[in-house]
Structure 1
């Protein structure tokens, strides 16, 4: 195997692949990156058995030659070492050659490295993803969906199914839900090309966080293929495979109240900033609790009290308050996460009592919903 490649292209592809590589794997071969080159271009693969990422670099793009292939072939190189070498090479012209079996030579300018590779036949085969369910979404929308839901997955492995985000089709909609049993984040969208058959899958939260780092911030189309125990996201020259979580996701629809005793409409950014300030004192307490009071006037009081540190009270002008007077306490962190997901728009908050879950929505749309369980303090 021998080829010449532009270093910046090699590094960009390698950076994506490295997101799937972990040093904590049971199979030592997975600490390596698989490199394959042929007349079409270079493919690099990294995996930790839960996530597999493949990047493809074409021989040429837009008339610019990126790779010159002298001899096709494949090799596995230690990912961490190879990545560090490529990052620090002195010039943009890189030659990689494998000779005498696994001896790999990397040359750039006056630098020359010799690495011992492994046989690429030992690398696990890629998951076989059939086209059972296939649809597509713009990359920027995918990133938004991830941002609006993945923060609410459980960090505890006691209920593994809750460490993922539940994606299911409901008539013409795709509904994405995450919950850790103390809060819930839901996002609904209507893709143009939904699969005809309904599906229900749970994607690990960690997989979505890594995918979010790779997706471009534009409207490039991401093709999504769901198969038995695997999901594949295809974007530009990147293939991102993730295993799916096994088990039944709880029915979260029954948690969402349909009747409200108190409704508040307020500017989301003002409320976020007020809770952020109140949490400066609340952080000293174990649960980071902030109190929220609303009455028949259009003024909301946000307060926090720490016996050792002091207290804070702040008044915010609401756009509208309807229903019963209310005093409620909640986690400042959960509330701030929810407000960030709705992203500074005017929001509607609907309460069903001081000890019942309450929901937050954009004042203009029902597509994003956040639910939080209050804390007993009053």
Structure 2
């Protein structure tokens, strides 16, 4: 294999795929980036078997020559070193030549680097996915849905299914749900797809979705999504992103969400977020994150936290609306702030069914997201 390629194009492609290379590979090949070269494309691939990312560089595109291919071929190079060295090469062009036993020479300007390559035949074969049904969703919408739900996914591997986000498609409505049993986030959107095309119990790791979100182009391009038996494929411009579906059945979360409330509040998003943020500083010192909310007779609410060493924070806010029974409740302020930071609405609805029942939070501007936080059992 021998080619000369634009350093910027090569570096961009490496950055896109490198996240899929294993940092502690069980076998060396999983810690590498595979390079396939022909006269049409230079293709880079990385895979840790859970996720696989493939990036394509077109050799010649609209009269712009990105690469000159003298000899097609393939090699696998160690990702950790390859990622760092290409960024630091001195020239705008990079020459890569692979010789016997996959010994690879990389030249750029006056720099020459010799690397020990690996046999590309040992590299994992990418999943074969039937592309009969395709979801097309704008990239910024997918990114937004991920951001507004991954916050509630579990970080404990004791329950692997809860480390993911549930995807459910029913009658042209796509819904994301995440929960760690202490909080829940859901987000829905209408999609332009045949109403007979449905799926459920598609659970994708929250960590994987965060990596996907970073790859989605800033320009609002359409992302093609293909769901298979145990894999989901995301197609973006010149990138293919494969992820394994988590094994197991996601729990039914519908039973924990009440529809009737004993107390209802409508609050200004920024004001309640700022007040809880200030209270969080005190509760954080106590290492509990406990903040208390109480309704007052004059239509005000009181937000407070305390520390045995530092003292107490108390703040009153005027509710936009208040209905129902008096309420005193305690909750994890970190969980609440996570929610308030991702809701894109100027006012929020809070629904309560008692001091030990789930807190429901919904934006007032729309009805396509909803959050649940379980309160703390404490004297308030």
Provide TM-score, normalisation by structure 1: 0.97
CA shift at 1:24, angstroms?
1.5
1:247 is paired with a residue of what secondary structure? coil
Which has the larger displacement, 30-39 or 91-100? 91-100
**In the alignment, is residue 91 of structure 1 matched against residue 91 of structure 2?**
yes
- In the other structure, the counterpart of 1:375 is 376
CA shift at 1:346, angstroms?
1.1
**In the alignment, is residue 44 of structure 1 matched against residue 49 of structure 2?**
no
> For 1:1-378, what aligned pairs fall within 5 Å after superposition?
1-131=1-131, 133-194=133-194, 196-200=196-200, 201-343=202-344, 345-378=346-379
Residue 195 to residue 119, structure 1, CA distance change in 2 (3 Å): farther
Distance 1:193 1:170 in 2: 10
Question: Could you list the per-position Cα deviations for residues 313-343 of structure 1 after superposition, in whole angstroms to 9, with x for gaps in the alignment?
Answer: 0112221111111111100010001111213
Computed over aligned residues only, the root mean square deviation of the Cα atoms, in angstroms, reads: 1.3
Residue 62 to residue 320, structure 1, CA distance change in 2 (3 Å): farther
Distance 1:304 1:80 in 2: 46
**Residue ranges of structure 2 left out of the alignment (5+ in a row):** none
CA shift at 1:61, angstroms?
3.0
Aligned length: 378
CA shift at 1:251, angstroms?
0.8
2:7–2:91 CA contact under 8 A, matched in 1: yes
Distance 2:180 2:145 in 1: 17
CA shift at 1:132, angstroms?
5.4
Residue 178 to residue 335, structure 1, CA distance change in 2 (3 Å): same
Distance 1:8 1:197 in 2: 41
1:124 is paired with a residue of what secondary structure? coil
1:135–1:225 CA contact under 8 A, matched in 2: yes
Provide TM-score, normalisation by structure 2: 0.97
2:172–2:195 CA contact under 8 A, matched in 1: no
1:33 is paired with a residue of what secondary structure? strand
Distance 1:171 1:108 in 2: 54
Distance 2:291 2:40 in 1: 58
Distance 1:136 1:265 in 2: 35
2:171–2:196 CA contact under 8 A, matched in 1: no
Distance 2:219 2:274 in 1: 29
1:296–1:324 CA contact under 8 A, matched in 2: no
1:135–1:194 CA contact under 8 A, matched in 2: no
Distance 2:139 2:283 in 1: 37
Distance 1:94 1:366 in 2: 52
Distance 1:204 1:362 in 2: 26
Distance 2:212 2:79 in 1: 19
Distance 1:137 1:372 in 2: 29
Distance 1:78 1:248 in 2: 36
Distance 1:203 1:195 in 2: 23
2:4–2:93 CA contact under 8 A, matched in 1: yes
1:283 is paired with a residue of what secondary structure? helix
Which has the larger displacement, 192-201 or 140-149? 192-201
CA shift at 1:194, angstroms?
5.0
Distance 2:247 2:224 in 1: 23
**Residue ranges of structure 1 left out of the alignment (5+ in a row):** none
1:260 is paired with a residue of what secondary structure? coil
CA shift at 1:247, angstroms?
1.1
2:134–2:225 CA contact under 8 A, matched in 1: yes
Distance 1:266 1:24 in 2: 47
